[in-house]
Structure 1
């Protein structure tokens, strides 16, 4: 009798524990989703409506689970809506409206993102050297600010593509320029979540190095290849699958990159433990047990999303090219990445492997993933040739 009563009680306890701010957040998200549907439902197909309906409860849950995300999302929403309102229906206002030209036009926001991520990287290294809490808070604020500007840039770029023409408009995850921005944002958000959850900023200098490297590529790609221009989609990409396959893929890439940097920190700290037990790395970096646990969680998260992305990619391929799998170089290397991390998790869960060997494996896995992400586009060609450099 008691168990029967307690079971539904536990089911509703989660909702009963929500604060007024949580319910205000839920109402705001639902209102925003209703507004988007009311304004744009005539332009949306059934799949896009389904994505919108799934996004609203996801945003509510994320805001409830990670309160800092509420303020972040509200900031991005305000910046994006301000930029969209400043544009009106005239793309040419990007060069005349002050706030667009210097802050919120997509290219301006992305340049701010790039500068702030580099500043955050340097500040995290300053924290590593000084150990001062204030320096760490500044580094975190810079990372949050960079991520907000990057996401604002992507959202405004989405609107800009439609201002260029209804036949050109598309979600901005269609080429290397756009997905490098997405990669930076996702990797930063994953890191910031772990930073807040575990109350440690010791990993920031190393994780932000990966993001700064992505920013360096992005800047080269922008100024040398002029890749920041918005182009119409190639026919194969003109699909609702792109809206879910690409973000899922890059949650995987971001998590794998985070795991690699954690693995690098693990190796450095384990070596410092014997070579210099009272040195900087030994005293300022997180404990080895925490690093090992974080590395496992990052790889498990990345593997789950990468598996989902691979399944979605196969369904997309069947629709676009008539077959689920064609051994295209991108598909083949995606399978290699999947097998690599499947083996890592198998050895961790079934054999109990941990420590330095698994850390080195995570680091090596990063280079395998990097080749699948970028190297295939540079050196190989195939059905995914739209991503070539």
Structure 2
């Protein structure tokens, strides 16, 4: 009898999802909806029906993301305000990028992306100092990483606007060449890492994940100097499609999370061999981050592959042509499908899973970059 009387106070019903939201959450969502409606009202004449639908869908999607991960509530408004400030300074002319101080040295697309690159490298250094010295430098690494994300995102937004200043027929979303997608890769990988850093309350992994981002930055800078890659070029006919706006970002969420999983796998292997064992998170935490990263990446990569097939049918008349890029995308998909199958069916854990994730990075890197360097095909517009 006493147990039954106590039960109501012991087993309290959890409040519903929406009841857990506070006034700031709803204000954030309303601000996103207002911004989307403003953009639709002002730029509707420049958008087709697909772009309008994507724009309207972004508000609830990013609202839900901000409710789940609170830093998005300040990141999106800050990127938006800085981007609008930069756009206003252009006053309709690209020449302003070399004439106005804040554009020339901070907020033009090339300046912002150079700052992003420098901040990612500094972030890597501070994460490693924090890991090796057990001091509080990892906190500085995290702040520098956030700053890099902000400036990189602003750079991408401003580059989008700059493409339209060159000409309405040139304007396009900045995900069309290796220069732009390397920036996208760095931003996506950093954001996913920062999420896991907060989720697991650990900064020790930053030293490893930032290495792959710094490698991407190093390639980006080399590519910029040796190929004048920062110049905005008109889209080739195959890329003049709305499919690009959703296929490429989905693809690079996959690439970014696969890279993150590989670097976490590297940390797992070091700890399992007693290297930095007292400074890295528990093996169970590393295993869980690796698994969740690959799961998210596989889901988005699957969607991207399907979208790519639909795009190919529209552009080239067939869903699949065994083009080198398509073939290697399939190899990447099969690799991670096998990893997840072994994890779920056979309980794959430990060093084998970590080595597999690390080898998967090599496969993914070749699909991402090696195909463009050594093979030719329908995707030759991405060649180095």
TM range, normalised to the smaller chain?
Answer: over 0.9
- Once residues 353 and 66 of structure 2 are traced to their aligned partners in structure 1, the CA distance between those partners, rounded to angstroms, is 33
Residue 54 of structure 1: how far off its partner (Å): 1.2
Report what 2:147 is aligned to. Answer: 145
Q: 1-side partners of 2:338 and 2:172: how far apart?
A: 37
Out of 282, 285, 289, the position equivalent to 2:277 is 282
State the partner residue of 1:42.
45
**Structure 1 position 32, deviation (Å):** 0.3
Runs of 4+ in 1 over 3 A off after TM superposition: none
Q: Distance in 2 between matches of 1:222 and 1:352?
A: 44
Shift of 1:12: 8.5
CA distance in 1 between partners of 2:82 and 2:15 (Å): 36
In the other structure, the counterpart of 1:123 is 126
2 CA distance for matches of 1:113 and 1:107? 10
Partner of 2:244: 242
- Counterpart in the other structure of 1:169: 171
Deviation, 1:132, is 1.8
- The residue number in structure 2 matching 1:3 is none
The residue that corresponds to 2:5 in the other structure is none
Aligned-partner Cα distance in 1 for 2:253–2:50: 21
Decide which of 113, 125, 130 is 1:110's aligned counterpart: 113
What's 1:57 paired with?
Answer: 60
The alpha-carbon deviation at position 11 of structure 1 amounts to 11
Correspondence for 1:365: 360
Distance in 1, matches of 2:213 and 2:273, equals 25
1:308 aligns with 2:303: yes
- Cα offsets for 1:204-240 (capped at 9, x unmatched): 0110000000000000000111111000000110111
| SS at 2:278 equivalent | helix
| Alpha-carbon distance between aligned partners in 2 of 1:150 and 1:140, rounded to the nearest angstrom | 15
Q: Does 1:68 align with 2:71?
A: yes
- The alpha-carbon distance between structure 1 residues 12 and 312, as it changes in their structure 2 partners (threshold 3 A), is farther
Give SS of 1:224's match. helix
Q: Unmatched 5+ residue regions in structure 2?
A: 1-12
User: 1:166 deviation in Å?
Assistant: 0.1
Q: CA deviation at 1:70?
A: 1.1
SS at structure 2 position matched to 1:196: helix
Q: CA RMSD in A?
A: 1.1
Once the two structures are superposed, the pairs formed by residues 6-25 of structure 1 within 5 Å of their partners are 13-25=16-28
Q: 2-side partners of 1:297 and 1:37: how far apart?
A: 35
The yes-or-no answer on 1:333 pairing with 2:328 is yes
Any gaps of 5 or more consecutive residues in structure 1? 1-9
Question: Counterparts of 1:31 and 1:354 in 2: how far apart (Å)?
Answer: 46
Partner of 1:222: 224
Correspondences of 1:255-266 after superposition (within 5 Å): 255-266=257-268
Deviation of 1:320 after TM superposition, in Å, equals 0.5
Q: Please say if 1:379 is aligned against 2:359.
A: no
Paired residues of 2:124 and 2:141 also in contact (CA < 8 A): yes
Rounded to whole Å, the distance in 2 between the matches of 1:95 and 1:43 is: 27
Question: Distance in 1 between the 2:356 and 2:213 partners?
Answer: 21
